[in-house]
Structures are given as structure tokens and as C-alpha cells.
Amino acid sequence: MNTSKKNILVPVDFSDQSLIALQYAEGIAQTTSSDLVLLYVHSEQGVLSSIFSDSDSDEKALDQAWEKLGQLALDVEKRSGVKAMAMIAKGKVSDEIIRVSELAGSTFIIMGTNGSDSFVRRFVGSNALKVVRESRIPVFSIKGKPAHTGFRQIVLPLDLTKETREKVKLAITLSRYFNAEIKVVSILMTDDEEVVGRLGFLLNQVENFLTEAGVKCSAELVKVPENHEDLGEEVLKYAERVGGDLIMIMTQQENDFKDMFIGSAAQTVINNSGIPVCSIIPNYIRSVVVFRPY
């Protein structure tokens, strides 16, 4: 399957958190003129299958899933005019989310990351992290209920690796769609003069590039104590201080230096951020400017 129009994949398990993520995705789809693909993954531990104990539980669960998912798709189209397609897959949740995103040619995946009961934590906790780690397209993880749909302040952490600079193109695209300001930040955890100089030069470069692209932006070098090693927490503190409503991170790095935004920091941000997080795998950005607002 390959849809002719840009589409956003939304995994749905009918929990409150996945429905919040769906509402958020609906607003993004409206603004970016995208369709939605609503995906329910049926597994032995599925929410619907757990309410049946007889031998035909799978069939009943799938029937209910189709009914509920189809109704969700109709509700989306009626409410916002966004075209929504319902899909069901069977297998491991994270594997099927990734497989269907590739099958559908999706631009983004938007999914919840936590919930109020043990099943939801299992579904959108470990599965969300695996999807973030393995997806070849950007993944928006939603924890709790965002204050609004869209973005006004995009927090863009940068380090000295080439790969993290790839985020800039996607940030520009989102900024143009939502008229958002980009807050570029580098967290400095060393007094090494060479590192300080290189980071300062990079921030100036990025700020100039964004300004020339017609994007409102600011750049800040944040110094924290050298013995403070929780880089992810520092990014979260910065996002809260500047009123960020989206954090864009890279999820993997080829190098593992203390002064870089590494995988463990990315995981801290994903697990603890109260605002949406957009995770991008390095070297993915083959077609990052996926929408053309102008």
C-alpha cells in the first residue's frame, strides 16, 4: 500500500492516551494537509482480546477493533475534514507500527508514551521507545495532554555532530507551518575552550541560517556544572524555562562524548517530557522537507 497523499500514522489502542495523541495528530494533519492512518495492533495482550476468555476471542476482538477504529475514522473526518483510514495488524506492537509506517509511506508517527494503567504503560512505554529507536521516519511522542495543537516554541538542542544539524531542516518546515519560533540551544558541560568555541560558532551559524530562511529564532549556549551529567534533564529544564511546546531530538549518535546529546539523554527527554517530543534517527533526513507550505 502506498497512499498518494502525505499521511501520518497514529497507533491506537483505545486508551485515553492514544486518543489524546490522535486528537493531536488530527490538528497536525489539518495544518499540513495530510491524511491519517489509524492503526490498531492485535496481540495476545491486547485490550480488546483481554475481555474474552472463549476460543473465538480473537475473532470477537478483531470485530470490535474494526468497529471502534472505523467509528474513530468517521469521527475524525466529520469533526475536522481530515481523511482517516483504519488499519489492523497482528503481531508485536512495535514491529507492526514500523512495518505499517513503511507500507503506508507515512511521513510521521504520532503516538502516546504513557498512561494510567499497567497495560497502557506496557503498550506505549516500551513499545514507544522501540518505535523511536527503530523508525526511519520522525516519531512524535505525546505524554499527557498538550496545551494546544501545533507548535509555538520549538526547542532545538544542538551539539557538534553533523547528524544533529539535520534537525534544522525539519524544524524550519514545522516552524513555517505553525508560525513557530525556534529556540536553538547547546548544553555546555565542559570548560574546554575548543568545545566552547566550536559550539558558539555552530550556534551562530544555525541562527544565521534560520534567520535567512525567514524563521523567527534565538540561540543560547547554556553552561551547567561539569559534574552534572544528566544532559536530558538540562534540556527539559531549558524547554520549561522558554515555554517550549515541542522538543526535537536525535535518538542515536555515532560517538559517545560527554558534551554531546547522546542516546541516554534522548531517552530521558522522551520518558520525562511533559510536552511533545519529535525524535529523528541520524541520516534519515533524505526527504525531511516533506511538506511545502510555500
Return the percentage of the chain with pLDDT > 90, whole number. 48
65 and 22, same structural domain?
yes
**What is the average pLDDT across 143-148?**
86
d(CA 237, CA 146): 17
- What would the pLDDT profile of 190-224 be if each residue is shown by its tens digit? 788 888 888 888 889 999 999 999 999 999 999 88
For the chain, how many structural domains are there in total?
2
184 and 136, same structural domain?
no
Which pTM value belongs to this model?
A: 0.84
Is residue 288 a part of any domain in this protein? no
**Domain coverage including residue 67:** 7-142
Of residues 155 and 126, the one with the higher pLDDT is 155
**pLDDT score recorded for residue 63:** 86
The CA distances from residue 1 to 71, 84, 138, 264, 287, in Å, are 22, 15, 20, 35, 19
**What is the average pLDDT across 66-77?**
94
Least confident among 16-25, 94-103, 161-170, 250-259: 250-259
Is residue 157 a part of any domain in this protein? yes
**pLDDT score recorded for residue 117:** 38
CATH number for 200:
3.40.50.620
d(CA 253, CA 121): 27
- What would the pLDDT profile of 225-240 be if each residue is shown by its tens digit? 766 668 889 999 999 9
With 0-12 CB in 10 A as exposed, 13-18 as middle and 19+ as buried, what is 99? middle
Domain boundary among 101, 119, 142: 142
- Residues 31, 19: contact at Cβ < 8 Å? no
- Residues 272, 232: contact at Cβ < 8 Å? yes
Is residue 1 a part of any domain in this protein? no
Q: Residue 99's pLDDT band (boundaries 50, 70, 90)?
A: very high
With 0-12 CB in 10 A as exposed, 13-18 as middle and 19+ as buried, what is 275? buried
Q: Residue 114's pLDDT band (boundaries 50, 70, 90)?
A: low
Is residue 286 a part of any domain in this protein? no
112 and 172, same structural domain?
no
60 and 161, same structural domain?
no
- Residues 28, 55: contact at Cβ < 8 Å? no
- Residues 9, 108: contact at Cβ < 8 Å? yes
Of residues 54 and 252, the one with the higher pLDDT is 252
Q: What average pLDDT is seen over the chain?
A: 81
What does the DSSP assignment read for the chain? ---SS-EEEEE--SSHHHHHHHHHHHHHHHHHT-EEEEEEEE-TT-TTGGG--STTHHHHHHHHHHHHHHHHHHHHHHHH---EEEEEEES-HHHHHHHHHHHHT-SEEEEE---SSHHHHIIIIIHHHHHHHH-SS-EEEE-S--SSSS-SEEEEE--SSTGGGGHHHHHHHHHHHHTPEEEEEEEE----HHHHHHHHHHHHHHHHHHHHTT--EEEEEEE--TT---HHHHHHHHHHHHT-SEEEEE---S---TTS--HHHHHHHHHH-SS-EEEE-TT--SS-------
- What would the pLDDT profile of 28-65 be if each residue is shown by its tens digit? 999 999 999 999 998 755 444 444 445 467 778 788 88
165 and 136, same structural domain?
no
- What would the pLDDT profile of 1-15 be if each residue is shown by its tens digit? 444 579 999 999 998
